[in-house]
Amino acid sequence: MGKIIFLCSVLVFCSWAHCDLIVGGLTFQDNAFADEVINSGGSLTTFAFDVPNAGTLPEVLTDTDTATFVIGGTNAFVELGFVDNLVINGNGNDLAIFEQGGLADSFLLKINNITLQVDTSFTGEFASDGREINVGLVDLDDYGILSGGSISSIFLDLEQITDAPPAISLVGALNSDSVVPEPSTCVLSLIGLFGLALRKKLPLCRANMEG
Ligand SMILES: [Ca+2]
Ligand SMILES: [Ca+2]
Ligand SMILES: [Ca+2]
């Protein structure tokens, strides 16, 4: 029984305990970043530490490293999803989209069927590849999301609209809410653990009865 309670405590601790991560001077919960590439298309070139085509699109966009990124081009788009967290419309800016390079480039961002241009600016910090870390800050108010409302995906149009093509390295929620397991999932896990414990004890009981 003691073991079961310990296991449950560890599971709950792992789900709810999050460390902070600082990127470009901004603080994020460690699970606040985009988790998956839902869809993509057009001309997209990945970069990792100055090597082109060095990683897959999901790798460079969900690794939380600003030295790995994707450069957009003709008809380029990427739809990103948040799995273990949601982006919340809280106070001020809610979303940070990081972009690499000496020129702070712009791109189009579609949320809730509203498309707006996001302009990035230099954060004052540099990535481990030596490039400038630029950031575009997004307030979900501008996309018609109610205060306290949330989103779980964003659509980035990465066609070049400024002097250089956008080079997206990382997307994180400044206002983030962790997606925790449903209470029913926890109850099912508990039943499973009890079942395992009983199965382990049964042979002993049988041996005692037969012996
Ligand atoms: Ca996440
Ligand atoms: Ca990256
Ligand atoms: Ca906001």
pLDDT of residue 50: 82
Question: What is the pLDDT, as a whole number, of residue 21?
Answer: 96
Per-residue model confidence (pLDDT) at position 190 = 54
| Strand order, beta sheet including 95-100 | 51-52, 44-48, 68-72, 167-173, 95-100, 132-138, 121-126
User: Which ligand sits nearest to residue 170's alpha carbon?
Assistant: 2
pLDDT score, position 13: 43
- The pLDDT, as a whole number, for residue 49 is 86
What pLDDT is stored for residue 187 in this prediction?
Answer: 54
- Is residue 32 over pLDDT 70? yes
Higher-confidence position of 9 and 156: 156
Domains of the chain: 32-174 (2.60.120.260)
Percent of all residues in the chain with a pLDDT value above 90, rounded to a whole number: 72
**pLDDT confidence tier of residue 192, bands split at 50, 70 and 90:** low
Mean pLDDT of the chain: 86
Which residue matches tokens 């983030």? 176
Report residues near ion ligand 3: CB below 5 Å: 89, 94, 139
User: What's the gap in Å between 10 CA and the centre of ligand 2?
Assistant: 30
- Ligand 2 centre to CA of 62 (Å) is 6
Please tell me the pTM assigned to this model.
0.79
Q: Which tokens in the block code for residue 159?
A: 């066609």
Tokens describing residue 53 = 């085509």
Q: pLDDT value at position 205?
A: 42
Q: Is the pLDDT of residue 15 over 80?
A: no
Point out the ligand nearest to the CA of residue 139: 3
Predicted pLDDT of residue 204: 46
Q: How confident is the model over 37-65, as pLDDT tens digits? A: 999 999 999 999 889 998 999 999 999 99
> Ligand 1 centre and the CA of 150: distance in Å?
13
Reported as a single tens digit per residue, the pLDDT across 90-132 is 999 999 999 999 899 999 999 999 999 999 999 999 999 999 9
Q: Measuring CA to CA, which residue among 99, 51, 102, 101 is closest to residue 78? A: 99
Work out the pLDDT band at 180, boundaries 50, 70, 90. Answer: confident
Q: How far apart are CA 106 and CA 104, in angstroms?
A: 7
Site of tokens 């241009």: 117
